[in-house]
Chains A and B, each alone.
Chain A
């Protein structure tokens, strides 16, 4: 299937990215990353070292046949496969990402399963797809008996996390985030747009309007990158929240050190994003001020550490 909005292509792409710290005391090396993400023995883990260490599992398909979420209760049915993959960034942050794309219409009844297996990552409607309603419903989250892409991402996450080499000796507690996204093609002459929202419990939503022909997999890659950086900000902000300024407390340096040891070097926007979508990141960054916020927080952590180092020179205190 082609890109968004092309004649034979999808009119809608949706996905969810879940982001966590890899449950180990330390970042893992490339070999371990490969072992963790080797979800299928017949296909390789793709590895990259530039601009940062980055590993991607083979894609996994999950079959579904159900009602897509919708805001207006329009009844429709989709059949096909959702594709999911796991990503490990710098051997430290684990993401699981599931997405699908859907054409405007499909056959009037379900075809043999092989028909759908030939279109991996594609959900084909039985009849017409109420695309707008599904896009809005998807961001609102699934109701009972509706398509649950988050669960598909979650079970992939759980599968990786169950690996025996993970010790679950986490250096700090973090926030588990989910980022749900939808992408529709921009109508002729219409500008591309990105709408980002933050909700409780680590849920974020991103509604994208993108140029015709954008590949759904590239959108998924963009959203993985957004989710990673949003998670970094959320996690560091959470760790710094309530940190009394300049207060001498034995527990504090450990948190700061964990941030420095494990997270501060991971900020690398657009590191693995398709070039055609770099502008989307920049637009979002301009609105949210993510990069500026990150720089400020990073500077604050470094300042705190410097202050503590200066103090400890005067009155030696144990750095655990």
Chain B
């Protein structure tokens, strides 16, 4: 393509809405999640936190050690984070809940670099995006979950021709072919409609079929599922989410000023440790209780079907290559888990 053509292309679209540019982010090598606890659990049993971090500690160390030494030399950049569930229940306040949480972590020798709120993944996030005079405008609200929903591209089971309702019609996402619904009409059943099993698309001989509920309720007041928000959370940590090219949920600094009495007054992602490595990372590891296993299976099913912008993926790939750090090409392969005993 010669010069005159590129000029033509640029002038053919208004400059305010030209080709989106992708904002670059700083990256750690590893984002290490030290836990994910329901608020109810914390409120009901304060000693639980101590036991939690004590159990996490050795596995967190192992995750760091597993990174080895980067080719570029020096220590790998690792940031730690902790997700508080303020989406499904709000039984306590940040002022009551966060200080003991940080104390318990410190007692086990762990530092929580970043604290995030689960409702930040759902949105709308107040102040999470550049406000616009026109309230109806998309850019007035940051809704990461909605963005991810719109970027879902269902993995087609064999035989999918394009004539099929999209995931957003149903609010469910599967890892394969669902069992066909039975129509109880005698006229049609004469054609031999019998039950057919579902099937996992990537099955090796036998299926582990999973159908994930992404949200429930009417569109206007959708309630996002835990699995879906966790998938959003992973994408945020991997730095793969952009709002029209702009970074989302950038960590807000915290100056040791105490914690507010309302969750909405707390920044979506808070940098508690001023010396922390960047929040976003090439790969993630989450140390979680084993009861999260089904949720995280669902997270993998979702992540496998999220279409991340190629510019964003390309940016991360270039940075990794420059650092000599090997990052898997598939997004779903960039996340890992530890489910320690006793958690």
Hey, which bits of chain A sit against chain B, CB under 8 A?
38-50, 61-66, 77, 79, 81-82, 110, 112-115, 117-118, 120, 142, 145-149, 151-152, 155, 272, 274-276
What 5 A-B pairs come out closest when comparing CB atoms? A114-B330, A42-B147, A63-B156, A113-B155, A40-B150
Are A41 and B155 interface neighbours, CB within 8 A? no
Neighbouring B residues of A120 by C-beta, 8 Å? 307, 310
Nearest opposing residue in chain A for B303, CB measure: A114
Neighbouring B residues of A147 by C-beta, 8 Å? 161-162
Give 10 new A-B contacts, CB below 8 A, not counting A38-B138, A120-B310: A40-B150, A42-B244, A50-B12, A61-B307, A62-B166, A64-B160, A81-B307, A114-B331, A151-B161, A151-B162
Hey, which bits of chain B sit against chain A, CB under 8 A?
5, 8, 11-14, 17-18, 20, 138, 143, 146-147, 150-151, 153-163, 165-166, 201-202, 242-244, 304-308, 310, 313, 329-333
Neighbouring A residues of B201 by C-beta, 8 Å? 65, 110, 113
Are B20 and A40 interface neighbours, CB within 8 A? no
- In whole Å, how far is B310's beta carbon from the nearest beta carbon of chain A? 7
Neighbouring A residues of B158 by C-beta, 8 Å? 65-66, 77, 110
Complex: A82 Cα to B143 Cα, angstroms? 26
Neighbouring B residues of A48 by C-beta, 8 Å? 12-14
Are B244 and A275 interface neighbours, CB within 8 A? no
Are A64 and B161 interface neighbours, CB within 8 A? yes
Q: Say yes or no: A39-B307 contact (C-beta < 8 A), given A66-B160, A151-B163.
A: no
Q: Say yes or no: A41-B143 contact (C-beta < 8 A), given A62-B162, A64-B161.
A: yes
Are B304 and A66 interface neighbours, CB within 8 A? no
- In whole Å, how far is A49's beta carbon from the nearest beta carbon of chain B? 7
- In whole Å, how far is A225's beta carbon from the nearest beta carbon of chain B? 13
- In whole Å, how far is A127's beta carbon from the nearest beta carbon of chain B? 14
Complex: A147 Cα to B307 Cα, angstroms? 21
- In whole Å, how far is B306's beta carbon from the nearest beta carbon of chain A? 8
Majority DSSP secondary structure for residues of B touching A: loop
Neighbouring A residues of B307 by C-beta, 8 Å? 61, 81, 117, 120
Neighbouring B residues of A115 by C-beta, 8 Å? 329-330
Complex: A40 Cα to B242 Cα, angstroms? 12
Q: Say yes or no: A65-B153 contact (C-beta < 8 A), given A114-B332, A118-B329.
A: no
Are B162 and A152 interface neighbours, CB within 8 A? yes
Are A44 and B17 interface neighbours, CB within 8 A? yes
Q: Can you name 21 A-B residue pairings with CB atoms under 8 Å?
A: A38-B138, A40-B150, A40-B151, A42-B150, A45-B17, A47-B14, A48-B14, A62-B166, A63-B160, A64-B160, A64-B162, A65-B157, A66-B160, A110-B158, A113-B201, A113-B304, A114-B332, A118-B310, A145-B161, A146-B161, A275-B8
Looking at B12, B138, B163, the one whose CB has the most chain A CB atoms below 10 A away is: B163
Are A118 and B313 interface neighbours, CB within 8 A? yes
Are A43 and B20 interface neighbours, CB within 8 A? yes
Complex: A61 Cα to B167 Cα, angstroms? 12
Complex: A48 Cα to B332 Cα, angstroms? 37
* Option from A77, A81, A114 in Cβ contact (under 8 Å) with B304: A114
Neighbouring A residues of B14 by C-beta, 8 Å? 47-49
Nearest opposing residue in chain A for B141, CB measure: A41
Complex: A126 Cα to B313 Cα, angstroms? 25
Are B153 and A114 interface neighbours, CB within 8 A? no
Complex: A151 Cα to B163 Cα, angstroms? 6
Are B163 and A148 interface neighbours, CB within 8 A? yes
Neighbouring B residues of A45 by C-beta, 8 Å? 17
Are B147 and A65 interface neighbours, CB within 8 A? no
Are A65 and B162 interface neighbours, CB within 8 A? no
Complex: A79 Cα to B147 Cα, angstroms? 25
- In whole Å, how far is B198's beta carbon from the nearest beta carbon of chain A? 16
Nearest opposing residue in chain B for A39, CB measure: B150
Neighbouring B residues of A49 by C-beta, 8 Å? 14
Neighbouring A residues of B304 by C-beta, 8 Å? 112-114
Complex: A101 Cα to B129 Cα, angstroms? 36
Are A41 and B146 interface neighbours, CB within 8 A? yes
Are B329 and A149 interface neighbours, CB within 8 A? no
